[in-house]
């Protein structure tokens, strides 16, 4: 054990195991997670060389090998609880993406949420047993988040009771679905439904892509991999071109919307029901965002107590770089953010479960709030996480640029989250539409409930900001959101009063609308973090989490001080007080930083980082890692004999 990191663990001000249990949802859940991780980490079939040394084809081959082993073990171990399966899958892939992500995360949930009983009997069991491996084909080359713009068509032929699917233009080709390139043999395809001469909008269809015996594409199916990407090299993101592909009428997912035998279209009770699985995935993304940031913070903070740099006093030892206030200011607010995002992830997941139960009971009244909340928080958390991972990488200096650190891969694998399942700016604007609707309701005398209650008149005239009080800081974020949402609404109305159309007025206020949505999401995160503290029983855990919540809120104020000043919440002298308290918190949390990362309980295998090793023996491990690089298999590379030696012997 490195002596510096050992010393960091000697005097934690809280019970590390108690915080781990809290994050997992209880002691039993911690033990269960550790059991599942041990099953994966001790499985000799899952050993492999570092992925950094593999080609794209090698990464995919390794991922498919792991997929096959994972599926066998899920069956052998009798895992049926979705949470157990997610934990075991995360352990098998060390949190990286895999080729069957959309099969497990979209295809199966789509069947469960939108298939009829007959369709479930026909498709679900083979899909659960992975005889059918599905993907989700929504995004096209020319359209992504704008669903109404999708061009793929499904024309109903009443004579044969079949749908005829086509991608009529090059921009209609399905593009990006994970697992599409080489893995999946089925897909849920989103297409514009045409029946009885009318386009009825987007609907979902189950389409077989490949022969179940040979895995060759079926007639009319042109499918393949889209090629190398910025990251995600374990996953075969693919393209799909459909040329007069016929499927039975019963392959349309018809739990809600239906096409009768004669072609009559029956609309769903709510248009939002079609997006239920997407909302589910967005809730998962919010939940997983904290895990990604937890990894990055663990790596950067552990390395920052092992790395020593410069000499403040002649003859004195070089200080640990985490002792520099600038390093604390980079990393400790991100550590606080990780905990904040953990609690907001739990909140969104519970919200999704509760509203899904209401929908099953025929109550669709909360769907708009669920859609708006999940969209906004998906964007808010992923933007912060991706930027945070890069901050952690840069905080590790030159070694952070090495793939041995684990941070480059963590960045490239998290960066797509800002785009998939809804491009973030568009997601924020969807939340903004909901907020503008809420403002109009209040103006019409209707009181709001849930996370938008702050827009009600009763929330006016709050006391002045007290930076020492977390409750007062929650109120400050509430006031900021109120001001920015109201300001955006007034700006829209002003544009309309000037004679602009709704579309022109909206476009002229997009920046303010995104700011309003961000402030709303920020308020919900701070409020949720503060509320979760009330339920923490262990006093030591509550104290350290309260400090993290305090730091998270204060850092948010300093980052957006202009907003708080515009909202009348903050004055210049109060901002200086906020900054002073923030610096005090950085200093007090400095000695708790390593124990707080230990509480995430991420094993070295799962962390996949030389710099973030639990024992802190970074330098010897980094050297050993470099020695195993394929380029070092021989002392003289073959290119020397092919190119350099002839060049050196030639007369130039």
**Which are the catalytic amino acids?**
421
How many Å apart are CA 86 and CA 56, to the nearest integer? 25
Judge contact between 554 and 473, C-beta under 8 A: yes
DSSP β-ladder status, 186-195 and 198-208: antiparallel
Residue whose C-alpha is closest to residue 175's, from 185, 190, 163: 190
**Sign, CA torsion 538/539/541/545:** positive
Q: What are phi and psi of 618, to 5 degrees?
A: -75, -50
Neighbours of 399 (CB within 10 A): 17
Residue whose C-alpha is closest to residue 388's, from 427, 331, 343, 344: 331
Residue whose C-alpha is closest to residue 84's, from 68, 73, 96: 73
How many Å apart are CA 559 and CA 557, to the nearest integer? 5
Cα R_g (the chain), whole angstroms? 27
How many Å apart are CA 292 and CA 104, to the nearest integer? 20
Q: Would you state the structure tokens that stand for residue 610, as one six-digit string?
A: 């030389």
How many Å apart are CA 350 and CA 123, to the nearest integer? 28
Q: What are phi and psi of 217, to 5 degrees?
A: -60, 145
How many Å apart are CA 416 and CA 8, to the nearest integer? 35
Number of residues in the chain: 652
Judge contact between 181 and 195, C-beta under 8 A: no
Residue whose C-alpha is closest to residue 338's, from 376, 388, 276: 388
- Buried-exposed string 368-394: b where 16+ CB fall within 10 A, e elsewhere: ebbbbbbbbbbbbbbbbbbebbbbbbe
Q: Would you state the structure tokens that stand for residue 550, as one six-digit string?
A: 């305090």
Q: Would you state the structure tokens that stand for residue 341, as one six-digit string?
A: 């995002």
Alpha-carbon distances of 555 from 175, 332, 567, rounded to whole Å:
40, 10, 17
**Sign, CA torsion 140/144/150/153:** positive
In 460-603, alpha helices (H) = 470-497, 502-508, 510-533, 539-559, 561-566, 572-590, 593-598
Residue whose C-alpha is closest to residue 195's, from 245, 269, 145, 267: 267
């Amino acid at each position: 054990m490195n002596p510096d990191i050992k010393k960091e663990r000697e005097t934690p001000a809280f019970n590390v195991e108690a915080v781990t249990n809290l994050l997992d949802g209880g002691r039993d859940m911690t033990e269960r997670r550790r059991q599942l991780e041990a099953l994966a980490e001790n499985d000799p079939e899952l050993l492999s060389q570092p992925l950094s040394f593999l080609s794209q084809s090698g990464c995919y081959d390794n991922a498919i090998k792991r997929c096959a082993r994972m599926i066998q073990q899920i069956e052998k171990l009798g895992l049926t609880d979705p949470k157990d399966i997610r934990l075991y899958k995360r352990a098998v892939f060390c949190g990286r993406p895999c080729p069957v992500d959309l099969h497990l995360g979209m295809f199966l949930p789509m069947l469960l949420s939108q298939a009829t009983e007959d369709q479930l009997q026909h498709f679900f069991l083979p899909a659960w047993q992975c005889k059918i491996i599905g993907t989700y084909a929504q995004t096209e080359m020319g359209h992504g988040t704008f669903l109404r713009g999708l061009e793929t068509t499904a024309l109903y032929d009443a004579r044969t009771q079949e749908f005829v699917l086509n991608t009529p233009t090059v921009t209609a080709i399905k593009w990006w679905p994970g697992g599409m390139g080489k893995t999946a043999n089925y897909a849920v395809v989103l297409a514009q439904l045409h029946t009885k001469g009318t386009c009825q909008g987007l609907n979902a269809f189950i389409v077989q892509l490949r022969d179940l015996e040979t895995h060759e594409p079926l007639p009319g199916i042109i499918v393949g991999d889209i090629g190398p990407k910025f990251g995600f090299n374990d996953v075969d993101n693919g393209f799909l071109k459909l040329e007069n592909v016929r499927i039975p009428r019963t392959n349309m997912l018809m739990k809600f919307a239906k096409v009768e035998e004669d072609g009559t279209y029956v609309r769903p009770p709510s248009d939002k029901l079609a997006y239920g699985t997407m909302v589910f995935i967005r809730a998962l993304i919010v939940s997983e965002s904290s895990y990604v940031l937890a990894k990055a913070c663990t790596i950067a903070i552990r390395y920052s107590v092992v790395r020593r740099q410069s000499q403040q006093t002649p003859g004195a030892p070089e200080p640990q770089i985490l002792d520099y206030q600038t390093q604390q200011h980079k990393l400790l607010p991100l550590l606080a953010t990780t905990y904040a995002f953990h609690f907001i992830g739990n909140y969104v997941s519970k919200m999704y479960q509760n509203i899904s139960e209401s929908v099953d009971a025929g109550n669709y009244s909360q769907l708009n709030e669920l859609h708006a909340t999940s969209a906004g928080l998906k964007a808010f958390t992923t933007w912060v996480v991706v930027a945070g991972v890069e901050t952690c990488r840069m905080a590790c200096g030159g070694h952070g640029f090495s793939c041995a650190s684990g941070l480059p891969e963590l960045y490239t694998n998290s960066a797509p989250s800002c785009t998939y399942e809804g491009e973030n700016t568009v997601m924020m604007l969807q939340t903004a539409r909901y907020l503008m609707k809420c403002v109009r309701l209040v103006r019409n005398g209707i009181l709001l409930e849930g996370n938008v209650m702050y827009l009600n008149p009763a929330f006016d005239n709050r006391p002045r900001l007290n930076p020492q009080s977390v409750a007062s800081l929650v109120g400050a974020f509430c006031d900021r959101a109120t001001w920015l949402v109201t300001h955006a609404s007034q700006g829209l109305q002003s544009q309309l009063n000037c004679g602009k159309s709704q579309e022109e007025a909206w476009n002229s206020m997009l920046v303010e609308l995104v700011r309003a949505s961000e402030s709303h999401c920020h308020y919900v995160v701070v409020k949720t973090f503060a509320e979760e503290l009330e339920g923490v029983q262990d006093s030591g855990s509550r104290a350290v989490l309260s400090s993290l919540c305090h730091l998270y809120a204060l850092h948010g104020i300093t980052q957006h001080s202009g907003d708080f000043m515009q909202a009348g919440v903050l004055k210049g002298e109060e901002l200086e007080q906020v900054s002073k308290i923030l610096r005090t918190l950085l200093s007090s949390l400095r000695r708790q930083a390593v124990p707080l990362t230990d509480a995430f309980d991420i094993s070295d295998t799962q962390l996949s980082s030389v710099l973030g090793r639990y024992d802190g023996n970074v330098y010897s491990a980094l050297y050993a890692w470099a020695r195993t690089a394929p380029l070092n298999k021989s002392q003289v590379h073959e290119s020397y004999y092919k190119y350099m030696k002839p060049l050196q012997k030639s007369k130039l």
